[in-house]
């Protein structure tokens, strides 16, 4: 038995996989003051559903996969450890200057952002290694020890080290690490060349400082998670989701917590790719995960999940960059809990502020006073007040109506239903613009992709989103309400290794490149026989980061073969590079040479025998009417057909206006939309117009 949990801003999603591969889905409210309590609450709901003790249920498990926003929340809120930064003398402003970019270069009203580590906690160490690895200035160990004394006096809890050209010769960084262990035992530190051996100093430094600052917090969180699961009866292996669409052991996550920054959102495209292929045989898909707090959008292009190195922890250029490749996910403050308000100019806004889990939407009856998207859907009759979360939570319709009337309808001079519809329209437009930024802005026509609707709130407006984008087909998986948790179950145990080795296509150093690739492969093989031992299968994928001469940035190109045994292998890389450059920038220069900067190997160990993600058959719980009065802008109030998601048969169709409900989600089918139930359990919707 396996458990996969995704902790969101409003709900904690759990999927339990039985030994026969059958899946069951559960939701509990997220507990921001103690996220692990919300995790255990979701397991308790699963145990109650099965009529057994929680300890007995956990004792059956051999794998527990956890996706969490704990790391990113700590960075955003500034709740990280007091961190010091050691750099080469003369380069103390590395974090201050960043890469020199400004999102608005001529807007001088915006103050220049503070560095991630304050300048007064940055210590310059006399030393210098040249680009070829030769030592120009020996490491001044006395200066290191003096800096350690100052760090102790300042109460530093973590240390990051980033020296020039340590990726070529790491001797000085390694020695500083040894001195830190000797003079500051127990204080975690990060060496930049170990964590992120990239050629760019700022990105290496930024990664090191973020990682070090998270180590005390995430180390404690991972240890607490493991211990509390053990106390609750779980004796299996605990894994955490990474930003790279994979999973790693919890203890390894604590050692390099920067990999957990986008833990939850990275899983949705994994599940989305599966359902796009299974339900519609599509290789291009827009994957949207709508939670209570955020709307996470990602893209599957030609069957591949795009990655990005431009992972900013906030506004680009004004916030730190992780310096690591991660799944390209765009998140905006839009979801079921997004708050609607009218400004002084009479403009309606929805989000980014969210009611979250506490106090939640007004309809929850827990002290919320500001109307949300959930309240609007309830007022429109799209949600059943008596069947929310399968009837375990009764919603306050009158409270939602009052909030919308007072905060939105009256200021705008609209009726309550028209105001609620306007809230949905604005939320929809916000979501459409988020999708545009990762499709149209990258030269991709969204009309050529299908839309995957995931998250508990996805069904409320996904048909309208698809219509705005021109998508003809929408797929809402049966496990879509916990799409990220489903993706976690499908994901592989992964590790990503990088090595710097510069060469050009004109003077290609085949021996040096093959040696670098062999070293990377050896590290991957060690992972397979170590953490990956017992996996169903494993694979290693190699890639190169290359550029045209005089270019500033590289692009990643997969290698067809693990070694360069002939000139044909080099020719294949050149061909693939020119094609990739054409795809990304709409221009290429086939006659030009290329410069290879670094080489990477990604190892993946498959933990499940199948990607299948179908919920186990279950008897419907709670009574719902066959029809319900619902409001649509096109028709006003109508008697809409109501169907239970789990009771629809394979190939059964339903035409809008209709509502397809389960305990975890409601799919709204406005007039003109038609849905069919697929064999996977998904609802495939022809959105109409």
DSSP characters over 393-460: B---HHHHHHHHIIIIIHHHT--HHHHHHHHHHHHHHHHHHHHHHHTGGGT--GGGSEEEEESTTGGG
Q: Do 519 and 575 share a domain, yes or no?
A: yes
Of the three residues 226, 242, 258, the one that is the final residue of a domain is 258
Q: Do 152 and 235 share a domain, yes or no?
A: no
User: What is the reported pLDDT for 622?
Assistant: 60
User: What is the reported pLDDT for 268?
Assistant: 87
The model's confidence at residue 234, banded by pLDDT at 50, 70 and 90, is: very high
Asked if residue 597 belongs to a domain, the reply is: yes
Q: Do 143 and 178 share a domain, yes or no?
A: yes
User: What is the reported pLDDT for 645?
Assistant: 87
Least confident of 323-337, 398-412, 658-672: 323-337
Under 8 Å between Cβ of 356 and 337: yes
Asked if residue 287 belongs to a domain, the reply is: no
pLDDT in tens, 317-359: 778 888 887 888 887 778 888 899 999 999 999 988 888 777 8
Displacement of CA 325 from its chain's centroid (Å): 12
Q: How far apart are CA 33 and CA 7, in angstroms?
A: 13
Of the three residues 400, 424, 448, the one that is the final residue of a domain is 424
- Residue 488 scores a pLDDT above 70: yes
Q: Do 70 and 147 share a domain, yes or no?
A: no
User: What is the reported pLDDT for 77?
Assistant: 75
User: What is the reported pLDDT for 618?
Assistant: 58
Tokens of 1: 């038995």
Most confident range (mean pLDDT) of 172-176, 440-444, 634-638 is 172-176
Strands 237-241 and 247-249: antiparallel
Asked if residue 473 belongs to a domain, the reply is: no
Q: Do 149 and 192 share a domain, yes or no?
A: yes
Of 330 and 227, more confident: 227
Asked if residue 643 belongs to a domain, the reply is: no
Task: Give this prediction's pTM.
Answer: 0.84
User: What is the reported pLDDT for 623?
Assistant: 63
Strands 450-454 and 473-476: parallel
User: What is the reported pLDDT for 261?
Assistant: 86
The model's confidence at residue 105, banded by pLDDT at 50, 70 and 90, is: confident
Asked if residue 408 belongs to a domain, the reply is: yes
Number of independent structural domains in the chain: 4
Instruction: Note down the domain range covering 345.
Output: 338-424
pLDDT in tens, 247-268: 899 888 889 999 988 877 788 8
User: What is the reported pLDDT for 681?
Assistant: 87
Tokens of 666: 């409601």
Asked if residue 502 belongs to a domain, the reply is: yes
Asked if residue 35 belongs to a domain, the reply is: yes
Q: Rounded to the nearest 10 degrees, what angle do helices 268-280 and 483-490 cross at?
A: 90
Neighbouring C-alpha atoms within 13 Å toward the C-beta of 117: 33
Closest CA to 206 of 96, 70, 126: 96
Q: Per DSSP, which regions of 34-117 are E strands?
A: 63-67, 83-88
pLDDT in tens, 54-77: 999 999 999 999 988 788 878 877
Q: How far apart are CA 591 and CA 132, in angstroms?
A: 29
User: What is the reported pLDDT for 621?
Assistant: 61
Q: How far apart are CA 384 and CA 576, in angstroms?
A: 53
User: What is the reported pLDDT for 613?
Assistant: 66
Q: Do 502 and 601 share a domain, yes or no?
A: yes
Mean pLDDT confidence for 509-537: 93
Quote the mean pLDDT of the chain. Answer: 89
- Residue 148 scores a pLDDT above 80: yes
Strands 158-162 and 83-88: parallel
- Residue 619 scores a pLDDT above 60: no
- Residue 37 scores a pLDDT above 80: yes
The model's confidence at residue 611, banded by pLDDT at 50, 70 and 90, is: low
User: What is the reported pLDDT for 320?
Assistant: 84
- Residue 670 scores a pLDDT above 90: yes
For residue 304, give the DSSP letter: B
Q: How far apart are CA 324 and CA 600, in angstroms?
A: 12
User: What is the reported pLDDT for 323?
Assistant: 83
Closest CA to 332 of 476, 455, 475, 468: 455
- Residue 620 scores a pLDDT above 60: no
- Residue 368 scores a pLDDT above 70: yes
When computed from its CA atoms, the radius of gyration of the chain, rounded to whole angstroms, is 26
In this structure, the number of other CB atoms found within 10 A of the CB of residue 289 comes to 33
User: What is the reported pLDDT for 617?
Assistant: 61
Q: Do 240 and 201 share a domain, yes or no?
A: no
Q: Do 132 and 110 share a domain, yes or no?
A: yes
Displacement of CA 389 from its chain's centroid (Å): 25
Sheet with 11-17, strands from edge to edge, namely 23-29, 11-17, 2-7, 63-67, 237-241, 247-249, 493-504, 595-606, 537-547, 555-558
CATH of the domain at 504: 3.30.1490
Q: How far apart are CA 15 and CA 45, in angstroms?
A: 11
Residue 110, exposed/middle/buried by CB under 10 A (0-12, 13-18, 19+)?
exposed
Q: Do 499 and 594 share a domain, yes or no?
A: yes
Length of the chain: 689
pLDDT in tens, 420-456: 999 999 999 999 998 988 888 767 788 889 999 988 8
The model's confidence at residue 237, banded by pLDDT at 50, 70 and 90, is: very high
Q: Do 51 and 130 share a domain, yes or no?
A: no
Of the three residues 548, 583, 606, the one that is the final residue of a domain is 606
């Amino acid at each position: 038995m396996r458990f996969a949990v995704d902790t969101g801003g409003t709900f904690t999603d759990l999927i339990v996989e039985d030994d026969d591969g059958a899946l069951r889905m559960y939701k509990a409210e997220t507990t921001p003051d103690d996220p692990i309590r919300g995790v255990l609450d979701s397991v308790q709901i699963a145990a109650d559903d099965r009529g057994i003790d929680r300890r007995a249920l956990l004792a059956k498990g051999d794998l527990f996969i956890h996706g969490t926003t704990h790391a990113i929340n700590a960075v955003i809120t500034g709740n990280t450890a007091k961190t010091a930064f050691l750099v080469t003398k003369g380069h103390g402003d590395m974090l201050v200057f960043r890469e020199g970019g400004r999102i608005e270069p001529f807007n001088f009203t915006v103050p220049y952002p503070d560095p991630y580590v304050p300048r007064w906690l940055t210590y310059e160490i006399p030393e210098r290694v040249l680009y070829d690895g030769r030592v120009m200035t020996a490491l001044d160990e006395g200066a290191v020890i003096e800096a350690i004394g100052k760090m102790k006096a300042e109460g530093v809890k973590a240390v990051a080290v980033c020296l020039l050209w340590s990726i070529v010769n790491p001797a000085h960084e390694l020695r500083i690490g040894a001195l830190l262990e000797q003079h500051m035992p127990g204080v975690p530190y990060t060496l930049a060349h170990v964590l992120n051996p990239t050629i760019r100093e700022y990105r290496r430094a930024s990664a090191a400082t973020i990682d070090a600052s998270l180590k005390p917090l995430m180390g404690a969180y991972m240890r607490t998670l493991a211990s509390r699961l053990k106390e609750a009866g779980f004796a299996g292996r605990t894994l955490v989701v990474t930003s790279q669409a994979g999973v790693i052991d919890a203890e390894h996550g604590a050692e390099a917590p920067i990999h957990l920054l986008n833990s939850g959102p990275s899983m949705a495209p994994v599940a989305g790719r599966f359902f796009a292929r299974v339900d519609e045989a599509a290789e291009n898909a827009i994957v949207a995960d709508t939670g209570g707090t955020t709307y996470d959008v990602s893209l599957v292009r030609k069957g591949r999940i795009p990655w990005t190195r431009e992972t900013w922890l906030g506004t680009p250029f004004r916030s730190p960059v992780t310096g690591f490749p991660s799944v390209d996910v765009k998140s905006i403050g839009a979801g079921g809990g997004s708050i609607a308000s009218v400004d002084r100019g009479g403009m309606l806004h929805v989000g980014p502020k969210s009611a979250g889990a506490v106090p939640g939407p007004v309809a929850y009856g827990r002290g919320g006073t500001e109307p949300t998207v959930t309240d609007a859907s309830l007022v429109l009759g799209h949600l059943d007040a008596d069947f929310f979360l399968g009837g375990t939570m009764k919603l306050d319709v009158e409270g939602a109506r009052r909030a919308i009337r007072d905060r939105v309808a009256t200021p705008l001079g609209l009726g309550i239903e028209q105001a609620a519809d306007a809230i949905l329209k604005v939320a929809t437009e916000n979501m459409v613009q988020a999708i545009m930024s990762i499709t149209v802005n990258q030269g991709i026509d969204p009309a050529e992709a299908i839309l995957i609707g995931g998250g508990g709130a996805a069904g409320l407006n996904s048909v309208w989103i698809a219509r705005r984008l021109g998508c003809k087909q929408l797929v809402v998986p049966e496990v879509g309400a916990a799409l990220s948790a489903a993706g976690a179950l499908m994901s592989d145990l992964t590790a990503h290794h990088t090595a710097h080795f510069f060469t050009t296509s004109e003077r290609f150093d085949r021996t040096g490149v093959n040696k670098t690739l062999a070293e990377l492969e050896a590290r991957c093989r060690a992972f397979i026989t170590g953490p990956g031992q017992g996996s169903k299968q494993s694979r290693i994928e190699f890639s190169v980061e290359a550029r045209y001469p005089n270019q500033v940035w590289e692009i990643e190109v997969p290698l067809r073969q693990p070694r360069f045994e002939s000139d044909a292998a080099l020719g294949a890389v050149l061909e693939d590079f020119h094609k990739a450059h054409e795809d990304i920038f709409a221009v290429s220069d086939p006659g030009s040479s290329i410069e290879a900067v670094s080489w990477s190997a990604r190892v993946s160990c498959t933990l499940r025998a199948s990607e299948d993600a179908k919920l186990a058959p279950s008897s419907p719980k709670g009574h719902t009417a066959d029809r319900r009065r619902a409001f649509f802008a096109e028709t006003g109030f109508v008697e809409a057909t109501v169907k239970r998601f789990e009771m629809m048969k394979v190939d059964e169709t339903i035409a809008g206006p209709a509502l397809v409900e389960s305990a975890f989600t409601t799919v709204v089918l406005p007039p003109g939309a038609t849905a069919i139930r697929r064999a996977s359990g998904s609802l495939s919707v022809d959105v109409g117009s």
